[in-house]
Amino acid sequence: MNSTCTALIAEDELLLAESLRADLAALWPELQIVAMAAHGEAALEAALRLRPQVLFLDIRMPGMTGLEVAQALAEDWPDGDQNSTPFPLLVFVTAYDQYALKAFEQAALDYVLKPVQRERLAQTCSRLQTALRQRVAASSAPQRPADSGAMAAVAQLRQLLAAPGVPEALGLPAAAAQPLRLLQVSVGQTIHMVPVSEVIYFEAADKYVRVVTGDKEHLVRASLRELLPQLDAQQFWQVHRSVVVRTEAITRAVRDEAGRLSRHLRDRPERLAVSRMFAHLFKGL
């Protein structure tokens, strides 16, 4: 490609990030690195602000993992129309074994291994250039606006995360052997015992998680990432990256004119959004 393309590198090891930038400059001079992010939250913020065409995401970073950044982007990226920026092409930078890499290939997600070999990176650059040319051609076709690609990324990420053993191989929390039944919540000098069966939903709130029942709210000092593997997956569904809801508390899911889903809850007035990453959970029979 002769035209300038933009990319973001998310890598917490500075020497590796600079090495990747140097290799990309040699292999793809037209590629403009618009940002370097040292952790997941910074990568997410920069990607949403700068809208690069390509993302190089380290899988394991402080805070959000590369996969969590990709999921969050897929949820927050604007829906595709004639004027919107297409969803970025994703390349994961990983040091994981062949089992995990096979899952990446099956999900049609590109990756490069640490330490990055220039010959392998050249193959990735060639694939990216081809994909970007195809996008340009699609966007210029009559009455065919360029697809944002967010829905395709959602499907790929869902397939990757569903592969047996892959979440553990990628450093994501494994499910607990016995689901959590009781929460011990501190309020001042008092510890309240909250049965998990009474919880309507959990919501991430900075360094805490809001625990919402029919008539009360509590804060627990934990992350949703830590809490989710301890919950019974049959009884609690993640419907947004920041919200996990008890399935029996959902009375209905309503789709608006733009196709966005919201949940109506039993015993609570809130109407909480369902992100596109988890919209597949709600399908009529």
Q: What is the DSSP string of 241-256?
A: TTEEEEGGGEEEEEE-
pLDDT at 85: 81
pLDDT in tens, 172-225: 666 667 899 999 988 888 888 999 999 999 999 888 999 999 989 999 988 888
- Angle among Cα 91, 93, 94 to the nearest 5 degrees reads 135
Q: What is the pLDDT of residue 141?
A: 58
H-assigned helices in 90-117: 98-106
Q: What is the pLDDT of residue 54?
A: 97
Q: Answer with the residue of higher pLDDT: 122 or 285.
A: 122
Check if the beta carbon of residue 265 is closer than 8 Å to that of residue 249: yes
Q: What is the mean pLDDT of the chain?
A: 86
Buried b (16+ CB within 10 A) or exposed e, 165-196: ebbebbebeeeeeeeeeebebeeeeeeeebeb
Tokens of 268: 């609570």
pLDDT at 146 over 50: no
- Token pair, residue 170, equals 């990628």
State percent of the chain over pLDDT 90: 49
Residues whose CB falls within 8 Å of the CB of residue 47, separated by 6 or more in sequence, listed in order: 8, 35, 55, 69, 73, 88
Domain 5-169 has CATH 3.50.50.60: no
pLDDT for residue 197: 93
Q: What is the mean pLDDT of residues 116-126?
A: 95
- Pick left, alpha or beta for residue 18 (phi over 0 → left; psi -120 to 50 → alpha; otherwise beta): alpha
111-115, 199-203, 273-277 — most confident range: 199-203
The CATH H-level superfamily of 182-281 is LytTr DNA-binding domain (2.40.50.1020)
Domains 5-169 and 182-281 share a fold: no
Q: What is the pLDDT of residue 144?
A: 46
What are the boundaries of each domain within the chain? Answer: 5-169, 182-281
What are the tokens at 150? 């967010």
CA dist 91 → 54, 66, 187, 242 (Å): 8, 10, 44, 24
Question: What's residue 169's pLDDT?
Answer: 66
DSSP 257: T
With 60 as the cut, is the pLDDT of residue 11 above it? Answer: yes
pLDDT at 2 over 70: no
